[in-house]
Amino acid sequence: KYSDVTLEITEGSNDTAQQIGQIETLINKKVDVLVVLPAYGKALTQVGLKAMRAGIPVVNLDRIFNTPQAYRCWIGGDNYGMGLNAGHYIGEKLKGKSNAKVIELAGLDNLELTKQRTKGFDDALKNYPNVKKVARQAAEFTVESGQAKMAQLLQAQSSFDALWNHDDDQGVGALRAIEQAGRDDFLMVGGAGALSAFQAIKQDNGVLKATVLYPPTMAASAIDLARALGQSKGISGLSEFEIPASLTLYSAVVDKTNVDQYMSTGFK
């Protein structure tokens, strides 16, 4: 996209030691800007600090370092906002139904992001006195766990009106369990922004009616921010001469009314 940028990509997966080594190599090469998506923010804080002290600005993507001193700009999604918008979408859809029942298929319960998504969802549902959350299961953000935990929910809940699933990957498994159970008596809202979810929403022949974004475009936006940093520019449309210190991206709801707009952004 940019002829004035040389992009060097390293892939450390979830290996913290490998990521640290790769970043230190880039620091030694004296790159102009670093974009870092840490496997674990806390574990990579020191190498972020090292880069900043070496005069290399860091764009910290998603999983945040322990201190703002380790990055020039943080950009990421809004986990609380995901839950909030999912809850409001479901609440509005069920507004005319008395004693509406909702269930939740969460992600890993030991992660703060899962807690934030659930809190946002619960806070939104407080605005709808006719809606009650009757069950919650925690899966593991995988297809297999989504299928297993959804099967348990379906067995335990003979009837309900809506399901919020935190993650579109585990949603693939959840949809398998729903199909195997022959259930189509509720609406489902997903989370994240997978291409498979967008396609199902567009087809509109199943329970999945919407998904709430954890914006899959954020890495591209991080590169745009890094380019602006490297060129000592601000962001087009803002009056400031510098990029922001942090940028929390909005968790838009994608349903059949706007899915075509987002189709090209879905992750596989």
Cβ-in-10-Å burial (0-12, 13-18, 19+) of 60 comes to buried
| End-to-end Cα distance, the chain | 21
Contact 63, 42 (CB under 8 A): no
In the numeric block, the tokens 């999945």 are attached to 208
Q: What is the sign of the dihedral through the CA atoms of 216, 78, 70 and 141?
A: negative
Domain 16-71+216-249 sits in CATH at 3.40.50.2300
Which one, of 210, 148, 137, lies nearest residue 173 by Cα?
148
Helix (H) or strand (E) holding 53: helix 45-53
pLDDT in the model for residue 14: 80
Q: What's this model's pTM, rounded to 2 decimal places? A: 0.91
Please tell me the distance from the alpha carbon of residue 206 to that of residue 184, in angstroms, as a whole number: 7
Where does CATH 3.40.50.2300 sit in the chain?
16-71+216-249, 79-214+254-265
Predicted local confidence at residue 137, as pLDDT = 98
Looking at residue 3, what is its pLDDT? 84
Question: Cα dist. 268→135, 194, 199 in Å?
Answer: 29, 6, 11
Tens of each residue's pLDDT in the chain, 268 residues: 788 889 999 998 789 999 999 999 999 999 999 999 998 999 999 999 999 999 999 999 999 999 999 999 999 999 999 999 999 999 999 999 999 999 999 999 999 999 999 999 999 999 999 999 999 999 999 999 999 999 999 999 999 999 999 999 999 999 999 999 999 999 999 999 999 999 999 999 999 999 999 999 999 999 999 999 999 999 999 999 999 999 999 999 999 999 999 999 999 9
Superfamily classification of domain 79-214+254-265: Response regulator (3.40.50.2300)
